[in-house]
Amino acid sequence: MEQHRTRPAQHGPRRDRPRPPLPGQAGREARGAVPGPARPPGAGARGGVQRRPAAVRRPAPAPAVRRMSNPRLTGLGGGLFCAAAMFLLGCLDALLFGASLTVYGVLFLPVCVLTAVWIRTRDLMTAPVVVPIAFAAGLGPVSDGNATTGGGFTGFVTALATQAGWLYGGTLVTGLIVLVRRVRLLLRRRVSGRPVR
């Protein structure tokens, strides 16, 4: 009878078989690279830690108040603004000051200045034209409520004739501001070399 050979039991500590290296480590061991300590994140080639550039703070956008502080009106827009302002001031003068023509003439001057300053450069020459029209447009409520000039068309013509000084003064102020703006525009375009329109 054949006797089955039994493997003799091995006494002593059991030795584990070496585990196969991982695929990534196998390539480095084949090239002879020895895995070293892990570098901290952000370390450069020389071992120094690279610093991130400081974040640049962008300036905050300008508020809407600054944008609207210097509006630009077209020729038609400037005429409508001036006429509407003078009509409202005429109604206010008739309501609060008894239709005083002197108060109306004084209030006409700042409206002329604002019209000449706010109108855009392409329509500068329209400012001295729309100012007298606006003066006449706002004179209706003042002449109707003024007892010295009478009512109707006669009172309107009388008020326009007696307040011609304020009319000429406001138109002159508007023309001077327009002239100064035009000269500055021509000088800037001549320095920059752009054609003058």
Rounded to whole angstroms, the Cα distance separating 83 from 24 reads 84
pLDDT of the residue at 179:
94
**Side chain identity at 85, as an amino acid letter?**
A
Rounded to whole angstroms, the Cα distance separating 141 from 157 reads 13
Q: Is 49 helix (H, G, I), strand (E, B) or coil?
A: strand
pLDDT < 70: residue spans in the chain? 1-70, 145-151, 194-197
Residues 6+ apart with CB under 8 A from 158: 143, 149, 150
pLDDT of the residue at 115:
93
pLDDT of the residue at 48:
52
pLDDT of the residue at 68:
46
Q: Where are the domains of the chain?
A: 71-192
Alpha helices in 8-100 (DSSP H): 23-31, 64-67, 75-96
Q: Is the pTM of this model over 0.75?
A: no
pLDDT of the residue at 191:
86
pLDDT of the residue at 65:
43
Q: What confidence tens digit (pLDDT) does each residue in 73-128 have? A: 888 999 999 999 999 999 999 898 888 889 999 999 999 999 999 999 889 999 99
